[in-house]
Amino acid sequence: MADGPSATRSDDADSDAADGSAPVERDGDERVPFDAEVDDPDRQTDEDLSLDELRAQVEEKYDFENFGPRDMARMSAEEWDAVFDPDSWITGTELLDRLEADLKQRVLDRDVFARVERFENPDRLVAYDEEGYAMVYGDGTVEGTGRVLRDVEPSVALASMEEYDVPELPEGEVLPRPHDVPDGGGDLGHQVLQVVAGVQLLMAVGLVGWGLFAAVTATATGQFGNPNAPILAIAAGLGFLVIGVFLFTLVANARLSDRFRSEEYRDRLRAVGLDSDERPAFLDDLESDGRLAGGEDDSSEDPA
């Protein structure tokens, strides 16, 4: 048994000599030939993509003719660097003008809830809601907190690209006044459901009434043509009754939900200073720090 280990090492040495590779000693008695494949963290694998390959992959993945903030949020830093040239980014007043137009259009489309205002000295754009804000400077620097910051950052990146077509700047306040918000939408859909529910109830009344009349008549005359017909008519009528009541309940619940959402939206509008003396507390903090000096507050404008 004592000759076992030495014999094994001798066999390994003979094998190394036979295939022409010298052994390399690692930890303990482990030996590997020089020409064996060794993991190299710096060695490029087949999975690594060149810049051109990554650019082609990104161009195939995204539709840049309809590129928007949602696509921008999905892109990784590597994809961004592959397809966009940082030397061609737009900055300064032009960036803020483009960003203002893009953000106001998104607010108008109800994609973002924010009040957008322009401030001077230095030139900057501020978008805020009842919980947070985003302040953008001419060099593209963004600071802020809350959900509105996450909504604004993709628009800043898009507005800085010449390839991105910015919509026309909407005129006036893009958020509605609280008293202009309707109690609910979908009136046409609600009316259609009410008509359908009414038809179901009429059919229920007709079938149940006919079933009862047929049953009473058959009992009085003693002539039972089809004794199951009245029972089937009454059962079908009760089924239509259940459907009609369910649809009316559905419409009533939808109307209540619409009113609740409308009132909640009015409260959010008042919280950002529309037709109200309320304003988010963080705006006072920003003003006390001097970061909102020179702003043009249009909250005192006459209602549109």
At 144-164, the pLDDT tens digits run 999 999 999 889 988 888 878
Q: What is the pLDDT of residues 165-195, one digit of tens each?
A: 888 888 878 888 888 888 766 678 888 889 9
Q: Could you tell me if 56 and 64 are in contact, meaning their C-beta atoms sit under 8 angstroms apart?
A: no
Q: Is 134 helix (H, G, I), strand (E, B) or coil?
A: strand
pLDDT value at residue 62: 74
Q: What integer pLDDT is reported at residue 297 of this predicted model?
A: 44
- Summarised one tens digit per residue, pLDDT across range 199-240 is 999 999 999 998 888 888 877 776 666 777 888 989 999 999
Tokens 């043009």 appear where?
296
| Mean pLDDT across 240-247 | 94
pTM as predicted: 0.58
Quickly tell me which residue has 């009862």 as its tokens.
212
Residue 3 token pair:
């000759």
Q: In whole angstroms, give the CA distance from residue 269 to residue 288.
A: 23
* C-alpha distance from residue 294 to each of 37, 92, 104, 148, 190 (Å): 67, 18, 20, 22, 48
pLDDT in tens, 74-90: 777 777 666 666 666 88
Bridge partners of 32, per DSSP, are 24
Highest mean pLDDT among 2-6, 139-143, 278-282, 294-298: 139-143
Q: Who has greater pLDDT, 63 or 230?
A: 230
**pLDDT of res. 249:** 93
Please report the pLDDT score of residue 66 as a whole number.
67
- pLDDT for 201 equals 93
Give Cβ neighbours of residue 54 (< 8 Å, ≥ 6 apart): 78, 79, 82
Rounded mean pLDDT of the chain? 76
**DSSP-derived secondary structure letter, 125:** E
Segments of 112-247 assigned E as strands: 115-119, 124-128, 133-137, 142-145
**What was the pLDDT predicted at 293?**
60
Give the pLDDT band (50/70/90) at residue 35: very low
